[in-house]
Amino acid sequence: MQQLISTWLESIGEDPARDGLRDTPRRTAEAWAYMTRGYQQDPLAMLRSALFEATAGQMVLVRDIAIYSMCEHHLLPFFGVCHIGYIPKNHIVGVSKLARLADIFARRLQVQERLTDQIAGAVMEALDPEGVGVIIEARHLCMIMRGAEKQNSRMVTSAMLGSFQTTPAIRDEFLQLARLGASA
């Protein structure tokens, strides 16, 4: 990867041997390994490592989980917040595991639509809850720095499974709780 980065620097007209860039190929390779570490993690195994028996029928929501990902189309960052809600049947999961789940999928090359679906699908598969809802609100540098150059734009995606999809009152409760305290 370091050789590729050196070649890339040369192709844009830079000298990878100059003082400020001499160590850039190594640092960039390390940064990319960190930013894409989700490929080395198993999201279902991580969730299943902290399942607890519970018969709680009320909604569980973790809101405002910070996410950082890389757009697979332009290799530019997108970042924002993720809200994950579910209604347990027989199991709950350690609360930090929902944040870790969002991170595992976000730390891969992504499109926001798929990221949202992957998080919801993993919660549904690992916990077998009554339903799951996931909302992601994010800013995409591929739209802010280039192309349309719309600095205040945000993309919002949602995935609703089980009772979150089939029961309007549950969907409405999730949407209301996810909005509480949100900046408009």
Q: Can you give the residue ranges of every domain in the chain?
A: 2-35, 50-179
Is the pLDDT confidence value at 162 over 70?
A: yes
DSSP letter, residue 37: G
Question: 36-40, 54-58, 87-91, 122-126 — which is least confidently predicted?
Answer: 54-58
**What is the model's pTM?**
0.93
Given 71, 82, 130, 173, the catalytic residue? 71
Q: How confident is the model at residue 146 (pLDDT cuts 50, 70, 90)?
A: confident
R_g of the chain, CA atoms, integer Å: 19
Least confident among 5-19, 77-91, 129-143, 146-160: 146-160
Comparing 82 with 152, which gets the higher pLDDT? 82
> What is each CA distance from 15 to 22, 153, 158, 160, 180, in whole angstroms?
9, 35, 44, 50, 50
Please pick, among 2, 14, 41, 142, the residue that the annotation labels catalytic: 142
Using an 8 Å Cβ cutoff, are 113 and 86 in contact?
no
- What are 162's two structure tokens? 């089980």
Domain 50-179 fold: GTP Cyclohydrolase I, domain 2 (3.30.1130)
Tokens of 151: 């600095």
The predicted structure's pLDDT at residue 184: 40
Instruction: Please say if 58 is a catalytic residue.
Output: no
Query: Which residues lie below 8 Å from residue 34, measured CB to CB, with a gap of 6+?
Result: none
Quote the CA–CA distance of 159 and 171 in Å, as a whole number: 11
Check if 142 is active-site: yes
The question of whether 82 is a catalytic residue gets the answer no
Distance (Å, rounded) from C-alpha 114 to C-alpha 131?
18
Share of the chain above pLDDT 70, in %: 97
User: 30-83 pLDDT, tens per residue?
Assistant: 999 999 999 999 999 999 999 999 877 799 999 999 999 999 999 999 999 999
List the catalytic residue out of 91, 110, 137, 140: 140
Partner residues linked to 51 by β-bridges:
93
Query: Is there a catalytic annotation at residue 72?
Result: yes
Residue among 10, 30, 72, 113 flagged as catalytic: 72
pLDDT average, residue stretch 160-183: 90
Q: Bridge partners of 148?
A: none
Alpha-carbon distance 137 to 66, whole Å?
10
Question: Of residues 2, 14, 74, 125, which has the active-site annotation?
Answer: 74
Residue 182's pLDDT is 55
Average pLDDT of the segment spanning 158-162: 98
Question: Which one of 83, 112, 137, 173 is the catalytic residue?
Answer: 112
pLDDT digits (tens, 9 = 90+) for 107-120: 999 999 999 999 99
112 among known catalytic residues: yes
What is the phi/psi pair of residue 99, to 5°? -65, -40
Q: How far apart are CA 71 and CA 95, in angstroms?
A: 27
